[in-house]
Amino acid sequence: MSIAVTEQPRLAALAAEANARLGRAHPLDVLRWAADEFGDGLCVASSMGDAVLPHLASRARPGIPIIFLDTGYHFAETIGMRDAVAATLPVTVLSIQPRRTVAEQDTDEGPRLFERDPDRCCALRKVAPLAGALAPYTAWAAGLRRDESETRRNIGVVEWDAKHGLVKLNPLANWTEDDVQAYIAEHGVLVNPLHYDGYESIGCAPCTARTAGGADARAGRWAGSTKTECGLHV
């Protein structure tokens, strides 16, 4: 089910109004507004780098769906995080897989597509699966922050996502890394252990490297190439 085209202008206007009103609000307040506004039409997407957004979302709406894109290329630690979040938080984790397995993709596209054409690999294993997973919803939340990279400097707390035809929330947009760490410490939030091994931004294992001290938080993603985003948020 997708939102009717005739309904989209109203939702786009709602997103603009909410962003103006909630632009400096605490992430929990943003999520509580969305839970009240959209009810079962709200979901969260998480890469399982940490459980900050799932934890906040569970406080706003217990049982909320958490979409995890199981690309087939994740670190074992990330899969462990997914399972730990499902086991310890009052959320419903939905593990979404691409249409083809890695082996099937290798047969059809050739091995190591992530090296030869990372944009196409992301499109097949992340972008298309997310689009399908979001279809039943009216709004979704992601864990993007403005301090993560130049490409995210201007994100809104509430936006109209024209690509998916949905309201999009970035509740953590205003938070810094210090804010995230303070929330983790205060609430005992789960953290992917790779963060303690030099990985500041964690994606698929073949395309994620440790980050040098002082570098952009996402510098370890597709290191050595001009690619900076997988396509989920652009």
Alpha-carbon distance 211 to 196, whole Å?
A: 11
Q: Is 230 designated active site?
A: yes
Q: Which of 43, 122, 204, 230 is catalytic?
A: 230
The answer to whether 68 and 48 have CB atoms below 8 angstroms apart is: yes
Half-sphere exposure of 78 toward its Cβ, with a 13 Å CA cutoff? 20
- Write down the residue that tokens 């994620």 correspond to: 208
CB atoms within 10 A of CB 16: 14
The answer to whether 20 and 27 have CB atoms below 8 angstroms apart is: no
Give the residue numbers annotated as catalytic, written as ranges: 230
